A and B are shown apart, each in its own frame.
Chain A
Amino acid sequence: MLYFSKLKLFIIYFLIIFLSFFSLNNFFDINKNFIFSKKINLGLDLQGGSYLLLEVDSSPILNRDLQQKLLNIRKELIKNKIKYQSLILDNETIVLKIDINNIKKFEESFLDKDNFLNPYYEQYRSYQLEHAIDGNTIKINYSKFGLIEINSSALTQSLEIVRRRIDEVGTKDPTIIRRGSNRILIELPGLENPNRVKDLLGKTANLTFRLVSENEDDFGFEKLNYENSDDKLSVSKRVIVSGDNLTNAKPAFDNITNKAVVNFNFDRIGAKKFARVTTDNVGKRLAIVLDEEIISAPSINEPILGGSGQISGNFTFQSATDLALLLRSGALPAPLNIIEERTVGPDLGEDSIKAGTISLIIGFLLVILFMFFKYKFLGLIANMALIINLVLLLGILTLLEATLTLPGIAGIILTVGMAVDANVLIFERIKEEMKTESSQIHSFDAGYQKAKTAVFDANITTLISAIILFFLGSGPVKGFAVTLGIGILTTLFSAYFFARHLSSLYVMKNKNRVISI
């Protein structure tokens, strides 16, 4: 165990020097364009920033789609001359009552794989809708896979719009990824104002232009609130033009009132529709509605033919800027709910880095002092192995460009405390061997040999914990699993290669002296 071939020594020391470069890289700016420009990333809890988990609330889409399905079913029934007693949408379920003799006929057309009513997904071997028959009642709702399809298409669209909105805010290095079938995970490092981003993401930004009713209780009208107020206004349910027809939106100041406004342009179709409606309805009022709230309802003084317009309301320049941003990036297909948020301010991050570094240094010194007092010269070897261990650990973290979190720092400190274990196991074993063995070289050799299983066993258990934590832990805790796990590997390397080499040099040099442990 004490003999090292030249090649082996070369590899050991090459690895140590190679990784030292990487770990040093975190403290100095050596060369930006070199491969050594890699650095350990700081987690959101250390550099400050926001972590947001959004969930798509697909129930509005579901209701809208089922409403459409209901109309299609009615058409289908009429086409097939099936009389029905009632056909209603109740709690995301279509309830159809037909004559019991017609059920078979309906089912046949419903389960026809080529019908447009109820598409069949080859890849899932399932229909979009599923139905249950109870007497003369048929209940129809989305099948599991139908729901997956709806969620997934809503998520894909939402992801794109979320990305556009966040890009427009201009944060550095945002991470936006999909999570599961209906969630979006966002990480925004170093974000100054998380509330603004949350406001922007919390809005569906569904903009519509609709006529205001003169008669409060007209049919086909609904009462909507003004934004930030309890005032209500009766507005047509019929949408003249929606945000989909906008090509551009910009904040500006109105020339006359000097108030913040949003200027916008319609695309060709939008411009045509808008021109027609404003021509036909001069003197009436037009409501500008965002997410079922009225922003403003100006009177149409003259036809607007140019395809551009202006939204005025109670804006500050900031809120006009945000509204323009929302209109440019488009409406979300469904509302997004923030179901988890973790935000750390930059100064807390700095404090955490300071506290983590101080406790690392103190923990390190305490362990080193203890080992030196306990084992004297061999203690020095263990301590050198500990230093190399830290350097290797940092080097690998840098090489992997891993993310260091506050629990991750705790993992490094814990590694310092537990790493000496390998050397302690070996030294204690050598000490025992010395009691029965006259040759010191043999004692060292046997000590390393016999301690092998114990060292391996002792480390594998912690490694198991770290691996499980890595796969099941989230965010900062994952950082702990990473440092703890890599720490075990570097511990084994530094004890069995580096420290063993130092011990062999030491014992060879002191062949004729009695070494006391």
Chain B
Amino acid sequence: MIFNINNKMAFSNYYKKFNLLSLVLIFLSIIFLFFKGLNFGVDFKGGTLIEIRPTDLNINIGEIRQSFLKMNLGDVTVKKFGQQNDYLVKIEMKKEKKSDFIKSINEKLSSDLGSNVDFRRVENVGPKVSNELLNDGILAISLSLAAMLFYIWIRFEWQFSIGAIIAIVHDVIITLGFFSLLSYEINLSIVAAVLTIVGYSMNDTVVIFDRIRENLKKYSKISTSDICDTSINETLSRTLITSITTLLALLSIYIFGGPILMGFSFAMIIGVIIGTYSSIFVATPILNYTKVTQETILKEENKN
């Protein structure tokens, strides 16, 4: 049978190695975020995004670029998008845009290329709105971290809270690090993905924590690291199965869900893998380091 793990694995032997790996990944992510930054899309930076499909299949990307260059719109990037001859055009923010801005681009492009150009999607975000969206996004992520902290604070002892929060922050930073490294675009759906990752990673951690607490109450003579190992092992097949089914669903979105959902599903895939890893190798070791014992739990329970 798959994932019927009978042999007890001593995860605690690898804590140090994996913690080092995590630190390196976080360090690299911060370096990337700091020096390379994130590739914000029009949602957060403002500007215009147009998904175009010329009727004439023989038109190449060079001709499209040439045509935009002639329009003198400032910084314009054109790239292939999805299948067939679809292209994504991104125009950096210009100060004022007239209401017939899109119409005039369409007319010029169609006449330049000598073919009708279908504008499949237009997103035009002004600087005020993009700032608001960015603030809302940051607020949403901070709020969800705070909500998780609050939730775990009422459910568990402080050592558990620290473990869970460090694990989540670890996941968010490394996921964003990947986006910086690969220059993937950050748009509204990525914020949704990050929030879902926070929820998912938390859920994974809480299941293991629940078991650790249960086992701590049951056994008084076993060391914390052994309790952690036992608990991880007991919940391991659940951890893996849930990650696998979630990843199967996400892979299906990534491959078949069309180009618009690609960034979202990619972020989620990275997040689920890191989230699963962090509940075992980041959140749990912290319980070990903060020396959680049976007493910690009993003391806390007597207080209530």
Contact = CB atoms under 8 A, between A and B. Distances in A.
B199 A466 contact: yes
Contacts of B125: 339-341
B54 interface: no
Nearest to A461: B202
Best-buried of B147, B244, B258 by chain A (most CB within 10 Å) = B258
Contacts of B195: 465, 468-469
Given A343-B122, A355-B256, A454-B210, A476 B268 contact: no
A413 B249 contact: yes
Given A370-B244, A469-B140, A464 B148 contact: yes
Interface in B85-137: 97-100, 102-103, 106, 118-126, 128-129, 133, 136-137
A480 B245 contact: no
Contact of A359 (B2, B151, B257): B257
B242 A407 contact: no
Given A420-B242, A425-B207, A477-B191, 6 more contacts: A198-B99, A202-B100, A342-B123, A343-B122, A370-B244, A464-B148
* Secondary structure type dominating chain A contacts: helix
Contact of B246 (A417, A432, A484): A417
Contact of A198 (B100, B155, B247): B100
A468 B147 contact: yes
A466 B189 CA distance: 13
Given A340-B129, A345-B120, A461 B249 contact: no
Contacts of A347: 118, 120
Given A198-B99, A418-B242, A462 B203 contact: yes
B196 interface: yes
A137 interface: no
Contacts of B246: 414, 417-418, 421
A366 B248 contact: yes
A356 interface: yes
Of A198, A341, A362, A459, chain B has the most CB atoms within 10 Å of the CB of A341
A166 to B, nearest CB: 14
A424 B242 contact: yes
A416 B106 CA distance: 41
A366 B196 contact: no
Contact of B258 (A355, A424, A432, A462): A355
A461 B206 contact: yes
A345 B210 contact: no
A374 B2 contact: yes
For the residues of B in contact with A, the DSSP-based class is helix
A417 B102 contact: no
A428 B211 CA distance: 13
A424 B244 CA distance: 12
Contact of A465 (B188, B199, B210): B199
A421 B242 contact: yes
A348 B249 contact: no
20 contacts: A195-B100, A195-B102, A195-B106, A202-B98, A338-B124, A341-B102, A342-B124, A407-B264, A409-B257, A410-B257, A410-B265, A413-B253, A417-B249, A424-B242, A457-B206, A461-B148, A462-B196, A477-B188, A480-B192, A484-B196
Interface in A353-377: 355-356, 358-360, 362-363, 366-367, 370-371, 373-374
A129 B250 CA distance: 57
Given A418-B242, A465-B198, A473-B188, A348 B151 contact: no
B144 A414 contact: no
A461 B256 contact: no
Given A195-B100, A195-B103, A458-B203, A407 B250 contact: no
Interface of A: 45, 53, 55, 194-195, 198-199, 201-202, 337-345, 347-348, 351-352, 355-356, 358-360, 362-363, 366-367, 370-371, 373-374, 406-407, 409-410, 413-414, 416-418, 420-421, 424-425, 428, 432, 453-454, 457-466, 468-469, 472-477, 480-481, 484
Interface stretch (B16-24, B233-241, B286-294): B233-241
A483 to B, nearest CB: 11
B31 interface: no
B129 A339 contact: yes
B260 interface: yes
B9 interface: no
Among B98, B106, B195, B265, chain A packs the most CB atoms within 10 A around the CB of: B195
Nearest to A373: B2
A345 B124 CA distance: 14
B122 A461 contact: no
A465 B196 contact: yes
Interface string B249-285: 1111101111011001100100000000000000000
Nearest to A467: B147
A472 B242 contact: no
Given A347-B120, A374-B2, A424-B242, A340 B249 contact: no
B157 interface: no
A469 B194 CA distance: 10
A417 B243 CA distance: 8
B121 A199 contact: no
Interface in B173-198: 188-189, 191-192, 195-196, 198
A337 B96 CA distance: 10
B144 A465 contact: yes
B252 A340 contact: no
A481 B192 CA distance: 8
B245 A472 contact: no
A80 to B, nearest CB: 43
A473 B151 CA distance: 22
Contacts of B106: 195
B249 A472 contact: no
A76 B103 CA distance: 51
B124 A341 contact: yes
Contacts of B3: 374
Contacts of B126: 337-340
B121 A345 contact: yes
Contacts of A371: 245
Nearest to B236: A428
B293 to A, nearest CB: 21
What 3 pairs across the A-B complex have the smallest Cβ distances?
A: A202-B99, A417-B249, A363-B252
Contacts of A342: 122-124
B139 interface: yes
B188 A345 contact: no
B255 to A, nearest CB: 7
B10 interface: no
